[in-house]
Amino acid sequence: MKCIKIFFLISFINIFGQTNIENQTAYNFPKIKSNITMPVTIPLSEISNMINASVKELIYQDDSYTDNNNDQFKVKVWKTRPIRLVGGTSQNLLIEVPLKIWAEKGIGTLGIYTYQNTTFETVMYFNTTLNFQNNWTIATSTKPNGFKWVTKPVLDYGRIQIPITSLVEKSLVEQQQKFCKTIDQQMATQLNFQQYAVMAWNVFSNPFNISEEYNTWLKVSPIAVNITPLKFYANQINTNIGIDIYSETFTGTKPEASLPIKTASNFNFSPNLSDNFLLQTTANIPYTEASNIARKTFLNKEFDVRDSKVKITDIRVYGVDDKIMIEAQTDGYIKGTCIISGIPVYDETKRKIVLSNTKFKLKTSNIIHKTASVLFQGKIVKMIEEEYGIPTEDLENSSKKSIEEAFNKEYYKGLKMYGKVFNLKPTKILLTSSAITAVIDTNASLKLTLGGI
């Protein structure tokens, strides 16, 4: 059962956390609450391989004639073939152990004995019930499930054939009962994943880079873990893990990892969890960058108004409440400050953040300019609506690539994670005092498998 311990340690390597989420950086970008679900498959063949690697060929040995009330009996028990595991229907494992047994029996009285030995084979069965408790421990109840004789034990004294099946069975049943208790005691003390959960989270709590080009970091902080009951099949154990998280996206300097935790919170049992999940992250575009985009697009642009020219000499972008403000300085026939305001939305066709519900305002001291602004308004507003936009295509593509690379890795030998991003796009635009924040919905799936350990 040591293999189960190893598996669960590795399986939950990325999901442990606590509800106390610390903000340890100078950034003030919004935290997005979302969730990740991940099917986990445990092939019983892998568990069998690890069990067989840990169980010695010689399972049991009695080298004394005089123990057990001077029974004049010795016995050795070997494993003849690999131990086999089969999944039951009620969170249990059926364990089949094929055995070769050598036995020697003394016949006689008054301390004078004649000894004869024999070798025979049997198959021993166990039934182990697993109960994964929400404090990260596994409780087991192991019971013997009988024997099947392949060849029955018989001592051959020439004319006398002495069956010793009942004697051998009695000894093995006693040892099997003791072995069951030992298994359960070891499980209770060793399969406490609290310490491993703490260790795993503290090692893997660092943010990871999702875009080198944009120097963008994703920080995921779990707040609750949900697990479906274990399902046992003929050749595997399945479960689903759901993690409620806060995700934060940072640009620039890598944010600090969360403070180390000392205890892992209990998880919750959930009857059903979806195979796919929605992960929400954020992409933050400072107003300085939005202004640079506007300058590259519109600086020194000229408009014809009443046979004269109006030229944009400077432009900047900032936010007021829920609106983006584009403030353009103009010279020529109309000299003043034009302010075009609009609500930012994501245009899926252009793959840009654009303005909707735009409004125009002209600040100028010249009354003639105010009269002429009606003509100018239509031209500049149309240009802003058609040409201005903050492109997100490169960010979307690089984020998708980086997330899939993080999803498809072998974090430990034999532990493979497979993931696919089905769709990734901004769905909501938020404005802060210093940046435009795009909330990005990522529809994806993850699967964890164990193989080749």
Most trustworthy range by pLDDT among 356-360, 361-365, 414-418:
356-360
- Asked if the structure places residue 106 within a domain, the reply is yes
pLDDT digits (tens, 9 = 90+) for 100-157: 888 777 777 777 777 778 888 988 888 988 888 888 787 889 899 988 889 888 877 7
Q: Which has the higher per-residue pLDDT, 361 or 167?
A: 361
Q: Which has the higher per-residue pLDDT, 116 or 375?
A: 116
- Asked if the structure places residue 352 within a domain, the reply is no
- Asked if the structure places residue 186 within a domain, the reply is yes
The arithmetic mean of pLDDT across residues 435-440, rounded, is 85
pTM of the prediction? 0.61
pLDDT digits (tens, 9 = 90+) for 161-190: 778 787 777 777 877 887 788 667 766 765
pLDDT digits (tens, 9 = 90+) for 237-287: 888 888 787 877 776 778 887 777 788 778 888 888 877 777 777 777 889
**CA 218/CA 34 separation, integer angstroms:** 13
Distance, first Cα to last Cα, the chain: 14
- Asked if the structure places residue 76 within a domain, the reply is yes
User: What pLDDT is recorded for position 94?
Assistant: 86
Number of domains comprising the chain: 1
- Asked if the structure places residue 364 within a domain, the reply is no
- Asked if the structure places residue 200 within a domain, the reply is no
Q: Which domain holds residue 178?
A: 44-190
Least confident of 118-127, 356-365, 369-378: 369-378
pLDDT band at 313 (very low <50, low <70, confident <90, very high): very high
User: What pLDDT is recorded for position 343?
Assistant: 93
- Asked if the structure places residue 173 within a domain, the reply is yes
- Res. 22: pLDDT tops 90: no
pLDDT band at 320 (very low <50, low <70, confident <90, very high): very high
pLDDT digits (tens, 9 = 90+) for 237-248: 888 888 787 877
The DSSP bridge partners found for residue 117 are: 104
User: What pLDDT is recorded for position 418?
Assistant: 83
Q: Is the Cα dihedral 420, 426, 432, 436 positive or negative? A: positive
Q: Which two tokens stand for residue 107?
A: 């016949």
pLDDT band at 346 (very low <50, low <70, confident <90, very high): very high
Least confident of 37-41, 200-204, 290-294: 200-204
- Asked if the structure places residue 23 within a domain, the reply is no
